[in-house]
Structure 1
Amino acid sequence: MNSSKVRIGVNEKLTVQQSLFYGMQSLLACNLFLGPFVLIGVFQMEVSLAAAFIGMTFLACGIATIIQAGFFLKMQVIQGMSFATFGAVIAVVMGADFATLVGALMVTSIMIVLLGYFRLFSKFVRKFIPGLVAGTVIVVIGISLMPITFTSILDLPGSPGVNFLIAGVTFFSLLFFMRLGRSENTLSKALNIGGVIYAMAIGTFVASFFGQVDLTPVVSAPWFAIPRLFPFGAPKFEIGSIMVFAVIMIISMVESIGTWFTITEMSDDAVDDERMDRGVIGEGLGVLIGSLVGGLPVSSYASNTGVLVVTKVFSRYAAIAAGVVAVILAFSPKLMYLMAIIPSSVVWGVYGIVCIAILMSGFNSIKNYPITERNNLVVGISVLATIGAGLLPAAVTNAMPGIIGYLFQASIAIGCITAVVANLVLPENTEDRIAVNPITDVNNS
């Protein structure tokens, strides 16, 4: 990517105010509370446990983001609950309990750290995840998230027409701010960089006229509260769950690495083997922290790449600030609820743009590859498997044996596995390759 399209580079320092502004923007777009809110509904948690669950999620994500952006990967990445693991999380908790999930995550996160420490994961990636597969993984993520945008709006309480109106206002507001970036004047560029926050503010303002903004939780919530550690009791270690998450966490890492390479292509940065293994260690430590304080595995959020496409601000100090804000929110229910009152219809309006940005980032990653029958099949079969897995009814996946059932409840996981397998099984000829691989050749920029 042309470096002239990068407004602020990866290692460029920002002022505290700038870091907080850009960091909050990424934090809002990544919607860290979405994962725990969904699980709270699935597991029907009582109020006090639900509050602790949300706080622990923010604490884990915040610490993991600071660790990854500040000390290991050193990139503008936001750590959040891995949606690639969503189906397995639900299946393990439903089949056993949260303590069993925590035990599985503790063991497998240490496994991930060791793979990074002994520099084994980078060797695995170089052999099994070339640029075509990494780009396909990002395409798969974008495609799998798109239907969620519409189904989630349809499932919201109230009038579907009103919810789509609010989401549409937010969507087109962000689209407007994105297009302002093409203008050369200072005001337009400033509006473009803060587009996500401004679009959410407009959407929330419109939603307030339809009674969708309730400040009562903010007013009644305390300013400070200490999150509960081990809210689900002592961890339990069950070999079946550990084996499931050994596979799931590898898939989650592939998802994260695809995100890292997408960011490097946009920012003229690079991920060599040493940096990749550092990132793997940072990711594993983030998952370990998540398991200790609430049981949610974290990964580098692909949705943040959508924000970066809009702002072109790649400074890792913004991610560090986002992590700090997430930690503060974990200790302040009032501030956390201030974010949480943003209507879901507004969030999904932004998410629509984010999904498009993720999908196109994936296509940009694979556009350097020749359009051959073999390459088309690798991408096409992976997309087909992702869509197919997402359409399977719960009765079918629940009837599948063990780990197979876990995997088919996560369409992203199926898409990722299919991309790796298809790339290995379909013979590669000279015409299928590119002279310079943007993933394996870190000097291409």
Structure 2
Amino acid sequence: MEKIIDVKEKPTLRRWIPLSLQHVFAMFGATVLVPFLVTLNTPEHTVMLTSTALFTSGLGTLLYILITQGKVPAYLGSSFAFIAPLISISTAYGFPYAMGGAFFVGLIYVGFALIIKFFGLQWLDKILPPVVIGSIIVTIGLNLAPTAMDMAMKGSGDTYNLYYVLVATVTLAIAIIASVVFKGFVTVIPVLIGIIGGYLFALFTGWFFPEHALIDFSAVATAPWFGFPRLVKPEFGFVPIATFALVSLATIAEHLGDTLVTSKVVGKDFYKNPGLHRTLAGDGLATSLAALFGGPPNTTYGENVGVMAITRVYSVWVIGGAAVIAIILSLFTKFGALIQTIPVPVMGGISMMLFGIIASSGIRTLVESGIDYGDKRNLIISSVILVIGIGGGKLFFPLTDQLNFNLEGIALAALVGIILNLVLPKTLNHKEEKAAAEAKQEGNTNS
């Protein structure tokens, strides 16, 4: 298909605004869901604001465009891979330490970018082969599954509620229908449509049955009209940094895949021009910048790549326009307060699909990479990663009276997976073993 607007082309203002709004719709649901979930599942309950996530996604996207020399039309939104470490580190150490870990992630990205610039990509395949990457991504999605079910069944409380299940089910059904049944642009924004549909369902049922009301607009009424995201001073600790650093290995691999997909959609080789080192550095510095404002780590969004594939509009000016709109929306404090009124079961319903998609994308990575599980080496690596990551594995021992080493869940699973991949001897894959056995048998028969 012929492109309608190329990367460097600037559309007229009449077309520019609606084209940019499409990208805002595409990224909005997932971007605000991350801070919503982090805040809901941490003791402080004011940890991360949805308006801040919008602000840092827009600001990070503009920084990314600058670093990539305006050659890559990619939107940066909140990364789901870091939900678990954001929650666990905020709970155990405090929110500033979570932001310290997130800030350090950006520096790791930059470090990898410099190594790629000077040494190429071959070394990365040895550390993070598909069997490790895919298994970690599966673990990330399934590790979050209990959170989704608790929100869907219990809301923000501890008691099962059948009405919550109904709201979550309706939300999930609307999102699935939007994704599978509808056509065109609507299929790119099923998360947003599901949230809006679930919200309206909860609002209407709350009017007819006040005892089940889940939405309270009092916070919207009292919120000021305008506000600016607060700066956060990151705190640095060994365990928070190690936790975020290990998870970042999976997101770096995700970045490589997203950049490759974007290249295929646009018809340009972004690995070569502006270079993978620039796209990785842009992603990383955007994440470090987000941490300074208390926002979640960023990642390039597949939803916005989907918009480009459908519309065949690849203009970086359109992506930049979406970033500016996101920043403007984030400054309206009442808008942020309105987002906070979204009922927990609505987010639970949408999370059931989103977290499953994360896990499924890991399975897709394994399948498309042709991982042979007839090879016991691959089977062992995946098995150990999944059990440690999903089962809540923990490595804990005191270093001093004041300092403990504590590594658990996804971070520990990633570390163990990388070590196993490096130390386990290479073996023939299942097909080669079978061919060798058949050749040996044939030789014995002939003799």
In structure 2, which of residues 387, 390, 393 is the aligned counterpart of residue 387 of structure 1? Answer: 390
Is the CA contact 2:106–2:288 (under 8 Å) kept in the aligned structure 1? yes
SS at match of 1:43: coil
Change (3 A) 1:328 1:412: farther
Q: In 2, Cα distance between the equivalents of 1:141 and 1:28?
A: 19
Picking from 249, 256, 259, the partner of 2:254 is 259
RMSD: 4.0
User: 8 Å contact 1:78–1:319 — kept in the other structure?
Assistant: no
Q: Which residue of 2 aligns with 1:116?
A: 113
**Structure 2 residue aligned with 1:63:** 59
Q: Is the 8 A contact 1:287 1:298 kept in 2?
A: yes
- 1:268-347 aligned at under 5 Å gives the runs 268=264, 272=271, 275-294=275-294, 296=295, 298-300=297-299, 305=302, 320=320, 323-347=323-347
Provide the residue aligned with 1:150 in structure 2.
149
Counterpart of 2:360 in structure 1 is 360
- Displacement after TM superposition at 1:291 (Å): 3.5
Among candidates 198, 214, 217, match of residue 216 of structure 2: 214
Structure 2 unaligned residues grouped into runs of 5+: 10-14, 207-212, 433-447
Tell me the amino acid that sits aligned with residue 387 of structure 1.
Answer: I
In the TM superposition, what whole-angstrom CA distance separates every residue of 1:96-122 from its partner, at most 9, and x where no partner exists? x83x66667656644542442353795
Would the alpha carbon gap of residues 285 and 359 (structure 1) be closer, same or farther in structure 2, given more than 3 Å must change?
A: same
The separation in 2 between residues aligned to 1:65 and 1:388, in whole angstroms, is 36
Change (3 A) 1:330 1:22: closer
Is the CA contact 2:136–2:250 (under 8 Å) kept in the aligned structure 1? yes
Residue 166 of structure 1: how far off its partner (Å): 0.7
**Counterpart of 2:445?**
none
**Aligned partner of residue 300 in structure 1, secondary structure:** strand
Shift of 1:149: 0.7
Q: CA distance change for structure 1 residues 200 and 19 in 2, over 3 Å: closer, same or farther?
A: same
Match of 1:139 in 2: 138
Q: What code does the residue aligned with 2:361 have? A: S
* CA pair 271-433 structure 1, distance change in 2 beyond 3 A: farther
CA shift for structure 1 position 386 = 0.7
Structure 1 residue 197 corresponds to structure 2 residue 192 = yes
In structure 2, the residue matched to 1:229 is 231
CA distance in 1, matches of 2:169, 2:6: 32
Instruction: After superposition, give the CA deviation of every residue in 1:262-292 in whole Å (9 maximum; x if it has no partner).
Output: 5467664677487442233123312331343
2 CA distance for matches of 1:160 and 1:316?
A: 47
Note closer, same or farther for the CA distance 1:308–1:341 as it changes in structure 2 (3 Å cut): farther
CA distance in 2, matches of 1:255, 1:144: 14
**Does the 8 Å CA contact 2:110/2:285 hold for their aligned counterparts?**
yes
**Does the C-alpha gap of structure 1 residues 382 and 316 become closer, same or farther in structure 2, counting only changes over 3 Å?**
farther
Change (3 A) 1:197 1:106: closer
Distance 1:355 1:297, change over 3 A: closer
List aligned pairs for 1:66-105, cutoff 5 A: 66-68=62-64, 71-72=67-68, 74-80=73-79, 82-83=82-83, 85-86=85-86, 89-90=89-90, 93-94=93-94, 98=96
Describe the SS at the equivalent of 1:348.
Answer: helix
Q: Do 1:309 and 1:357's aligned partners in 2 also have CA atoms closer than 8 Å? A: no
The residue aligned with 1:441 is none
In 1, distance between residues paired with 2:55 and 2:18? 22
* C-alpha distance in structure 1 between counterparts of 2:187 and 2:99, whole Å: 41
- Residues in 2 aligned to 1:264 and 1:433: alpha-carbon distance in whole angstroms: 32
Q: 1:382/1:167 Cα in 2 relative to 1: closer, same or farther (>3 Å)? A: same
- 1:383: Cα distance to partner? 0.8
Task: Identify the residue that residue 23 of structure 2 maps to in structure 1.
Answer: 22
Aligned to 2:210: none
Residues 271/425 of structure 1: CA separation in 2 closer, same or farther (3 Å cut): farther
Q: Report how far residue 23 of structure 1 moved.
A: 2.6
Q: Distance in 2 between matches of 1:356 and 1:102?
A: 26
| Amino acid in the other structure paired with 1:201 | I
Shift of 1:207: 0.7
Shift in Å at residue 322 of structure 1?
5.3
Structure 1 equivalent of residue 378 of structure 2: 375
For normalisation by structure 2, the TM-score amounts to 0.73
* Paired residue type of 1:117: L
Work out whether residues 39 and 45 of structure 2, in 8 Å CA contact, stay in contact via their aligned partners in 1.
no
1:328-367 superposed Cα distances (whole Å, 9 cap, x missing partner): 2332111212222222211221121112222222112111
Q: Is the 8 A contact 1:68 1:279 kept in 2?
A: yes
Distance 1:258 1:297, change over 3 A: same
- For residues 8-57 of structure 1, the C-alpha deviation after alignment (integer angstroms, 9 at most, x for no partner) is 99969884323323332322123143255247x52366xxxx68x66544
For 1:178 and 1:310, locate their aligned partners in 2 and report how far apart those are by CA, in whole Å. 13
Counterpart CA distance in 2 for 1:338 and 1:433 is: 57
Contact 2:56/2:293 (8 A) holds in 1: yes
Closer/same/farther in 2, CA of residues 343 and 101 from structure 1, 3 Å limit: closer
Residue 375 of structure 1 deviates from its aligned partner by 1.6
SS in 2 for 1:33: helix
Q: CA offset at residue 171 of structure 1?
A: 0.7
Distance 1:15 1:154 in 2: 42
User: Counterpart of 2:163 in structure 1: which amino acid?
Assistant: V
Counterparts in 2 of 1:321 and 1:414: CA distance versus 1, 3 Å: farther
TM-score normalised by structure 1 residue count: 0.73
Give secondary structure in 2 for the equivalent of 1:427. Answer: coil
Greater displacement, 252-261 / 312-321: 312-321
CA contact (8 A) 2:153 2:162 kept: no
Write the deviation string for residues 103-148 of structure 1: whole angstroms up to 9, x where unpaired.
Answer: 6765664454244235379565233012222222222222212222
Deviates most, 189-198 or 421-430: 189-198
In structure 1, what residue type is equivalent to 2:22?
A: F
